[in-house]
């Protein structure tokens, strides 16, 4: 009997924190089942993301880097230039890297994320089976699929009030609730990238969702006739699942302020409002003022992450830091404002009672796994759809409604805080959050829905490799 061949998987990702981290977490799951994993991303990630993580990640995950065609000092917040350069130069460099890697070993699969669709073409050119790791909600994949594949005729996307009532598993949506990358106001390079992705799906053998079946059951079932879709999440750090290991599971762009945990430990159970809008969003001063006012008026302890990007705001009449710290004086010690924190440890802390979030997908998954009720304050991309999932599908939180100016008022945010923490439906929201937590953890346990999907993928690779 021939010796069973070891499965080698090559993962490819853009060098963004919210893209790399799901890859790392899937890598850990695959490694636990005996698969060898290599992650390839662009050279600048070596310096920005992995500078302190090489020793942690490389013990189990092999890291490879290729040039994206831009100089190291180029400001990569210019996503148009970044995507264009990767398409024209980076893809060629990735192909060269794969050629060199395959001289030493064969790969059973290339797994790419949605924002590197050129990797699908490259995998096909090298004759390697390809999988897509979808790093947003299954619902968002379903919407994009139906739009870019012309499965349904969508209404006028110029009108935010037009209704969309044909997406299985979702309530009636308005155009303003759709993921923004399909809207006319969206930067053209993102739309072009997604068109490329969905045009290339016929070359993809597996699509993995970072969600889990029980969270979006009706949505996932509705896609059976469309494509091969396996929910394998929630892809979160083992720490959030009650395991002790945290090293090598995620990367962070900024230094976390450890004062958060000590501060939380001095607060009553489920009393603290945690506010964070992630690593990318830059809040205008008006939004900062509204959040500050709502937190002050709530008269509850709060931990507010005002990320380092805030200093890049175009709204310069006051500095963001000055605004935030001014409110600290007025709340008489009830709040703590930091530039960054270890969000996983914060959400796991018993003092946290709710999470005011932009509802980015990674943050939403972390809230689901920890059972923390959410207040959804979406900004762009998949976040408007995620907020509908939170309020109407998961039912583990509420959605803050924007005014005509697109800004959530202080009064609206204050109302949502009251509703989640002490309103008549607060207990129901808390119970539902805990129910989702239990379902999320069971999905990843041995024999759970996500664990079965990962095992099925590995079996598929073994079968493919047994036929030369």
What sign does the dihedral 180-420-291-337 (CA atoms) show? negative
| Residues contacting 431, CB < 8 A, separation 6+ | none
Name the CATH superfamily for 8-241+442-465: Glycogen Phosphorylase B; (3.40.50.2000)
Q: What is the pLDDT of residue 256?
A: 65
Please state which CATH number belongs to domain 259-440. 3.40.50.2000
Give the start-to-end residue ranges of the domains of the chain: 8-241+442-465, 259-440
Q: What is the pLDDT of residue 129?
A: 96
Residues of the chain with pLDDT under 70: 1-5, 49-59, 244-257, 307-321, 323-325, 328, 332, 467-468
Backbone angles phi, psi at 95, to 5 degrees: -60, -40
Q: What is the pLDDT of residue 259?
A: 82
Q: What is the pLDDT of residues 83-138, one digit of tens each?
A: 888 888 888 999 999 999 999 999 999 999 998 999 999 999 999 999 999 999 99
Q: What is the pLDDT of residue 320?
A: 57
**pTM, entire model:** 0.91
Q: What is the pLDDT of residue 313?
A: 45
Cα–Cα distance list, 202 to 189, 198, 226, 442 (Å): 22, 8, 11, 32
Q: What is the pLDDT of residue 339?
A: 86
Q: What is the pLDDT of residue 16?
A: 80
- Domain 8-241+442-465 and domain 259-440 have a common topology: yes
Q: What is the pLDDT of residue 79?
A: 77
445 sits in which H/E element: none
Q: Say if residues 248 and 53 touch (Cβ distance below 8 Å).
A: yes
């Amino acid at each position: 009997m021939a010796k069973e061949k070891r499965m080698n998987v090559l993962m490819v990702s853009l060098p963004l924190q919210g893209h790399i981290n799901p890859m790392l977490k899937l890598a850990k799951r695959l490694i636990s089942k005996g698969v060898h994993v290599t992650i390839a991303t662009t050279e600048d990630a070596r310096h920005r993301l992995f500078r302190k993580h090489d020793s942690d990640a490389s013990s189990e995950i092999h890291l490879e880097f290729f040039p994206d065609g831009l100089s190291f000092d180029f400001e990569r917040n210019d996503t148009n230039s970044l995507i264009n350069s990767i398409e024209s130069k980076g893809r060629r460099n990735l192909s060269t890297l794969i050629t060199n890697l395959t001289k030493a070993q064969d790969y059973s699969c290339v797994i790419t994320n949605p924002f590197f669709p050129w990797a699908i073409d490259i995998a096909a050119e090298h004759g390697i089976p390809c999988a897509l790791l979808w790093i947003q909600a299954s619902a968002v994949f379903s919407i994009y699929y139906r739009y870019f594949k012309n499965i349904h005729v969508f209404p006028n996307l110029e009108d935010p009030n037009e209704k969309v009532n044909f997406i299985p598993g979702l309530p009636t949506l308005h155009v303003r609730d759709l993921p923004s990358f399909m809207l006319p106001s969206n930067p053209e390079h993102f739309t072009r990238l997604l068109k490329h992705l969905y045009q290339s799906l016929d070359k993809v053998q597996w699509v993995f969702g970072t969600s889990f079946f029980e969270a979006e059951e009706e949505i996932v079932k509705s896609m059976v006739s469309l494509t091969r879709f396996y929910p394998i999440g929630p892809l979160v750090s083992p720490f959030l699942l009650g395991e002790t290991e945290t090293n090598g599971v995620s990367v962070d762009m900024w230094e976390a302020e450890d004062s958060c945990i000590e501060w939380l430990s001095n607060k009553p159970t489920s009393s603290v409002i945690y506010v964070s809008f992630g690593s990318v969003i830059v809040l205008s001063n008006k939004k900062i003022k509204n959040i500050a006012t709502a937190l002050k008026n709530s008269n509850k302890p709060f931990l507010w992450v005002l990320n380092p990007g805030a200093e890049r705001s175009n709204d310069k009449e006051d500095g963001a830091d000055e605004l935030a710290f001014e409110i600290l004086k007025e709340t008489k010690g009830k709040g703590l404002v930091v530039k960054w924190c270890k969000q996983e440890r914060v959400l796991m802390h018993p003092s946290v009672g709710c999470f005011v979030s932009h509802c980015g997908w990674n943050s939403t998954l972390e809230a689901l796994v920890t059972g923390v009720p959410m207040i959804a304050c979406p900004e762009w991309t998949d976040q408007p759809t995620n907020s509908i999932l939170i309020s109407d599908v998961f039912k583990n939180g509420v959605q803050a409604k924007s005014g005509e100016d697109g800004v959530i008022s202080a009064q609206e945010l204050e109302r949502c805080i009251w509703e989640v923490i002490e309103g008549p439906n607060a207990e129901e929201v808390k119970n539902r959050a805990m129910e989702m937590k239990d379902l999320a953890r069971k999905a990843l346990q041995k024999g759970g829905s996500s664990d079965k999907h990962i095992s099925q993928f590995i079996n598929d690779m073994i079968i493919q490799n047994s036929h030369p």
